[in-house]
Amino acid sequence: MWKIKHMISILVMGIILFFFVENQAVSAYLAQLKHKAVFTHQSVPSLRDRIKQEAKDRRIQPQDAKIDRVWKAIPGYNGLEVDEKKSYKMMKKDGVFKENRLIYKQVPPEVHLKDLPPAPIYRGHPDKTMVSFAINVAWGEEYLPDMLEVLKKHSIHATFFFEGRWVKNHPDLAKMIIEAGHEGGNHSYTHPDMARISEARAAEEMEKTNSVIESATGTRPVLFAPPSGSFTDVTVKTAHRLGMQTTLWTVDTIDWKKPAPDVLINRVISRVHPGAIILMHPTEASSASLNTLITEIQAKQLKIDTVSNLLNETRIISHKTSSH
């Protein structure tokens, strides 16, 4: 009997010990699982946290307009940042971060061109992958139809700086240019040397031209291009007082010298850069070169648009930018 009781006691103790050890193993295993879960939770950020971090990494600061020692007035350029709320909304349903669903918004600079003192403008912002054709029109109307047809074919808009006398003599052609979506600028009334005339005469030249352009096209210029690029500080201040920025150029076709098309094209393409204002006139050389100029400029990944659009702060969004 004693032996049986002894054996039962040993058996009971063994069972108790087994369950104790098993319980310890289970507890350890559960603790390990809990630790892994916590670690995994901590190492994989939530969707909101991931978007927030991406927004921080991808932000591009806006750049203020400024007066440069060499280039004078340079427009500002919008920055870029991720719109966290809209981006989360785009990804919330799947709960998975996807780069191509990030939504961006542009951030304007604090200082704009209008905040600067009157100064000439030679170029757009150097980071803006855009250029403009500034076409001064005081003669050469026979070449305009072909040039307009080329611009239309490529869906490109230019800025035509009109001499007032020319508009008075060709109001229908000026109107046709504006109705085609191009921009009209002021190029004085009689093409004088603006650096050699009085302030009163300068104001008269500008005001008279604005009036005839507005009468013919229904639009009033906001840009002034001084004839032959000749001006003084008084010229710039007078234009500013009349609501116009004074613009010049950084790339010159020199088409008035009647170069061969390949010479003109090489001259422009070798000098063109982001933010360039390209000066031309309605000439045989520019008319014959325009189609090739456009295709070669676009091959450099540069957009072509009006001078006003070049000078605005809107950032051009590219795949490279959005993957910053």
- Token pair 């020692």 in the structure block, residue: 69
Task: State which amino acid sits at residue 283.
Answer: T
* Calculated CA dihedral for residues 124, 130, 136, 141, nearest 10 degrees: -170
Per-state percent for the chain, helix, strand, coil, to nearest 5: 50, 15, 35
In a domain, 41, yes or no: no
Q: What is the pLDDT of residue 318?
A: 74
Same-domain check for residues 189 and 275: yes
Q: Is residue 261 part of a domain?
A: yes
Q: What is the pLDDT of residue 224?
A: 99
Residues 96 and 126 in one domain: no
Residues 145 and 232 in one domain: yes
CA distance 38 to 23: 22
Are the C-beta atoms of residues 296 and 265 closer than 8 Å to each other? yes
One-letter amino acid at 167 equals V
Total domain count, the chain: 3
pLDDT truncated to tens, each residue of the chain (324 aa)?
A: 555 555 555 554 544 444 444 556 545 554 565 555 444 444 558 999 999 999 999 999 999 999 999 999 999 999 999 999 999 999 999 999 999 999 999 999 999 999 999 999 999 999 999 999 999 999 999 999 999 999 999 999 999 999 999 999 999 999 999 999 999 999 999 999 999 999 999 999 999 999 999 999 999 999 999 999 999 999 999 999 999 999 999 999 999 999 999 999 999 999 999 999 999 999 999 999 999 999 999 999 999 999 999 999 999 987 544 444
3-state secondary structure of 274: coil
User: How confident is the model at residue 324, as a pLDDT?
Assistant: 43
In this prediction, residue 34 carries a pLDDT of 55
For the chain, what's the residue count? 324
Range of the domain at 14: 1-35
Q: What is the pLDDT of residue 317?
A: 87
The residue behind tokens 């009781």 is 5
pTM for this prediction: 0.85
Structure tokens at 66: 């400024």
Nearest to 106 by CA among 74, 127, 77: 77
Q: Does some domain include residue 324?
A: no
